Structure 1
Amino acid sequence: MALINVKTKEIQIKIVYYGPGRGGKTTNLEYINHNYRDRIKTEMVSLKTHDDRTLFFDFLPFDVGKIKGFEVTIQLYTVPGQAKYNATRRLVLRGVDGIVFVADVQKEQRKKNIESLNQLYENLKTYDLNIFKIPLVMQYNKIDLKELDIPILSSKIMQKDLNSQLRVPAFEASALTGGNVIPTLKKVITMTLASIQDQFF
């Protein structure tokens, strides 16, 4: 839930990048961090382990302007991908305002994508949040692997697997090259800000 400081006229919004392990969540944030250095207030924090790139989260606040005279700061987090870190994933989701679900288009990751989305649904329920109501954007990542002849799932299959019921905005992307990374971010920010305006203003 957005943190609103009436005294300082500041709103802090939390957006979490969620999805299966090694799907490209951290790569999204690294791309944003690299390309928007002039708008980012702090250094990106990344805690890594031997068996998963991101154990806890990446933390990346930057300014996006004002709502009704309040300064808005966005904080971007990723969750660890591996299922064994589910307690940590759930912890990172506390106070979430918007979500980017980063799915891996590789055919061998199809089952993991579906499992991760189901787990997101369950983890949100812990905080009485409804996956159908929270601002959510789908990103079908690693589309660039097609050029390397690595078997990938079509956008149609990804939509059927992950988005047939949710019907949220979806982007084919390549976090590695930056393809659709910023449009994904802009979309989730727009949706989250609209949601916060409806709730608080």
Structure 2
Amino acid sequence: MAVVNIRKKEVQIKIVYVGPGRGGKTTNLEYLFSKIRHRIESDMVSIKTQGDRTLFFDFLPFELGQIQGYQIKTQLYTVPGQVKYNATRKLVLKGVDGVVFVADSMVAMREKNIVALKNLEENLAFYDIDLYDRFPIILQYNKRDLAENGIDILDVDTLQQDLNARLQAPFYEASAVNGVNVIATAKKAISTTIVSIQEHLG
């Protein structure tokens, strides 16, 4: 749940990018960092885990509006997607307020997307969070640009059926490498999370 700092009059929200390994989570945050660098006071922190080319986490605080007179500070994290790093994923999800699920559009990744979403459900349940009970989540169908290179990608209807039939969450077709819908995804994740927090605060 969001951390409230009464002295600073600040609400800190935590959004975590999850999804299968090498699906584009880190690329999303690196693109965001490059575009809003002037609004970020600290450097992006990366801790690399052995054998995993994905960043352990990225830390991007930036300001966005207010909740009941309190400034909002947003933290964005990635988690490693590989199966063997589940303990790390679970740890990073502690205190999460919202999630961006980055799905890999390649046909070859269909099953890994489904497994990753199931893993997210299980890890959130560890913290007594029900993914399907109005939890703030945005889906991003990444790597749509690969079709231009002759690589087989899943159509949106299939991705929706696999990942979003039950969630009914907002989704974006994206190319993190080219920056297509990267900022839109982040903005939607932040605004959806803020609305959820405001509802909880009454």
Matches within 5 A, 1:67-78: 67-78=67-78
- 2:186 maps to amino acid: L
TM-score of the pair, normalised by structure 2: 0.97
Letter in 2 for 1:45: V
Identical pairs, percent: 58
Deviation at 1:55, TM superposition (A): 5.1
Q: Show structure 1 runs of 5+ residues with no match.
A: none
- Establish whether residue 105 from structure 1 lines up as the match of residue 105 from structure 2: yes
When the two chains are superposed, the root-mean-square deviation of aligned CA atoms in Å is 1.0
**SS where residue 45 of structure 1 aligns?**
coil
Corresponding letter in the other structure for 1:53: R
Q: Which residue of 1 aligns with 2:185?
A: 184
Q: Which amino acid aligns with 1:140?
A: Y
Q: Deviations over 1:56-85 (max 9, x none)?
A: 211111111222210110000000010100
CA distance in 1 between counterparts of 2:2 and 2:169 reads: 21
2:49 and 2:55 in contact (8 A); partners too: yes
The answer for the alignment partner of 1:196 in structure 2 is 197
Please give the alpha-carbon distance, in whole angstroms, between the structure 1 residues aligned to 2:159 and 2:51: 27
- Could you give the per-residue CA deviations for residues 1-46 of structure 1, whole angstroms, max 9, x where no partner exists? 1000122211000000000000000000000000011111211011
Give 1:129's aligned residue: 129
Tell me, in whole angstroms, the C-alpha distance in 1 between the residues paired with 2:50 and 2:79. 16
- Structure 1 CA distance, aligned partners of 2:50 and 2:74? 29
Does the CA-based 8 Å contact 1:46-1:54 persist in structure 2?
no
Deviates more, 1:10-19 or 1:42-51: 42-51
Describe how 1:52-201 pairs up with structure 2 within 5 A. 52-54=52-54, 56-132=56-132, 133-201=134-202
Give the CA deviation at 1:180.
Answer: 0.4
How far, CA to CA, are the matches of 1:68 and 1:55 in structure 2? 34
> Aligned residues, how many?
201
The 2-side partners of 1:53 and 1:63 are apart by: 29
Q: Report the secondary structure of 1:140's partner residue.
A: strand
Alpha-carbon distance in structure 2 between the residues aligned to 1:23 and 1:140 = 9
String of CA shifts for 1:97-144, please: whole Å, max 9, x gaps: 000000000000001000000000000000000101210000000000
* Cα shift at 1:51: 2.5
